[in-house]
Copies of this chain bind each other. A is one copy, B any other.
Amino acid sequence: MERLTQQLQFIMEVDKLKGVLRQTQLLGVDRRENSAEHSWHVVLAAVILAEYANQTVDVLQVVKMLLIHDVVEIDAGDTFMYLETADAEQTQREQQAADRLFALLPQAQAVEFRALWDEFEARKTPEARYAKALDRLMPMLHNYHTQGFAWRKHQVPAERVYQRNVYMADGSNQLWDYAKNMINLAIERGYLQA
């Protein structure tokens, strides 16, 4: 029972991700999204859209990566991708969070999940590139379908949306084509400033 108790301690600890708010505005509910429900949504999207990955991906590997990609925010907080650049201090906070959180698991699983998080951050494998593309696509979809809610609130110009999302193409050219089209439509409709 000791091993199971340790695993459940990790599972209960990451419950806190439900309290971390993102800038994304939800579609059918009038509030901001939290990182736990975002994680569910991006995993589901990754499974449904796997056919668009540039290279064939191990979908379970992608799923595992996306399930835990944001848990470091429990200690380090969410960084709004358009406002802040990842400074050295934030990177250090996230590393420390990863050290603390994954170490709650039994050793082999701690190593596995830490490696998955590192893989996601490094964006070098087909799985990580595809997972990162999905993690960028989701807030774009939410912004577009809320008439640019977070973009307008923070006065994010179209050029910046383009620049911060262009690496989606490393994971999926087809999803990036779709996203570029969304950016253009968003400009046309006044959701984004050209």
Chain A interface mostly helix, strand, loop or mixed? helix
Given known pairs A15-B27, A28-B19, A60-B63, the reply for A43 and B45 (CB within 8 Å) is no
Would you call B37 and A18 a contact (CB within 8 A)? Answer: yes
A4-12, A124-132, A162-170 - interface stretch:
A4-12
- Contact digits for A101-119, partner B, Cβ 8 Å, 1 yes 0 no: 0000100010000000000
Given known pairs A60-B60, A145-B12, the reply for A36 and B41 (CB within 8 Å) is yes
CB-CB under 8 A from A59, the residues of chain B are 60
Categorize the interface residue count of chain A.
35 or more
Whether A16 sits at the interface, judged by CB under 8 Å, is yes
Closest to A177 in B: B1
Would you call A178 and B41 a contact (CB within 8 A)? Answer: no
CB-CB under 8 A from A37, the residues of chain B are 18, 34, 36-37, 40
CB-CB under 8 A from A67, the residues of chain B are 40, 43-44, 47
CB-CB under 8 A from A44, the residues of chain B are 11, 14, 67-68
Whether A136 sits at the interface, judged by CB under 8 Å, is no
